[in-house]
């Protein structure tokens, strides 16, 4: 399993939110480029960049994303980029800018015809991101709850040539209470694609438990940014 630091961008800063709530920001670092370099210095080889402003239609950090992707790839890291990606043109631009993978959320979940075309056009380069609250998928920047169980969604996505499925337990995100192991285990069993887990991951024990349950990767946020997880130790143990 690979551990992947999250770089969540809001108003040009690197932030961490709790429970997917924009009014509950716990971490703000004003130099995302320095943050990116630090994670790479500690030994991480893959980064997860998300434009929160674009995801919630509050704005865009596209120039900053491009700069972070360029810096990361120059230093040898793979980068997956997400947040408000709703067109194939945007996917193509991000890949051209150097992103290895593109993460698509709301439109991929709600518009399967579009997803089929995008996945066929960019096979093995798209990760579908499903934000989940109590096993229900939430879209549009966590504002809309769909009557869909994530396991059903995972099974439906098996037909597409995806790079992976990212599942974020929004109800645990940033709370440092441990991850939803049962949820992630169920999704890993249902999905034919590599599953990335996010939300609530707090300790090395959490990471090892996810790996034991067949999860391919873990997106790390609050625990890394607050020092609850030792970044260097995590990077050494969870590299692939």
Residues tagged active-site: 8, 131
What's the sign of the alpha-carbon dihedral 32, 109, 165, 100? negative
Q: Which residues contact 111 (CB under 8 A, 6 or more apart)?
A: none
For 2-12, give one letter per residue: b (16+ CB within 10 A) or e: bbbbbbbbbee
Are 161 and 123 in contact by the 8 Å Cβ rule? The answer is yes
Pick the closest to residue 166 from 209, 218, 120 (CA basis): 218
Are 126 and 102 in contact by the 8 Å Cβ rule? The answer is yes
Pick the closest to residue 8 from 85, 112, 62, 83 (CA basis): 83
Distance CA 127, CA 124 (A): 8
CA atoms within 13 A on the CB side of 40: 21
What element of type H or E holds 218? strand 217-220
Q: 3-state class of 221 per DSSP?
A: coil
């Amino acid at each position: 399993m690979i551990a992947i630091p999250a770089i969540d961008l809001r108003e040009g800063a690197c932030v961490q939110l709790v429970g997917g709530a924009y009014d509950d920001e716990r971490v703000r670092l004003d130099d995302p480029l320095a943050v990116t370099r630090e994670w790479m210095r500690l030994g991480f080889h893959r980064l997860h960049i998300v434009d929160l402003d674009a995801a919630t239609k509050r704005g865009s950090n596209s120039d900053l994303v491009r700069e972070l992707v360029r810096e990361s790839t120059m230093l040898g890291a793979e980068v997956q980029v997400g947040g408000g990606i709703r067109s194939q043109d945007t996917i193509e631009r991000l890949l051209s800018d150097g992103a290895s993978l593109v993460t698509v959320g709301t439109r991929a979940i709600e518009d399967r015809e579009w997803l089929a075309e995008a996945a066929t056009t960019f096979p093995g380069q798209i990760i579908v991101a499903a934000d989940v609250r109590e096993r229900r998928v939430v879209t549009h920047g966590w504002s809309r709850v769909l009557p869909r169980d994530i396991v059903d969604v995972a099974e439906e996505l098996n037909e597409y040539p995806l790079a992976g499925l990212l599942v974020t337990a929004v109800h645990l995100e940033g709370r440092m209470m441990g991850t939803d192991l049962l949820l992630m285990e169920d999704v890993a069993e249902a999905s034919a694609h590599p599953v990335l887990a996010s939300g609530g991951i707090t300790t090395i024990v959490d990471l090892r438990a996810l790996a034991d349950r067949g999860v391919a990767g873990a997106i790390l946020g609050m625990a890394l940014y607050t020092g609850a997880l030792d970044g260097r130790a995590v990077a050494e143990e969870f590299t692939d």
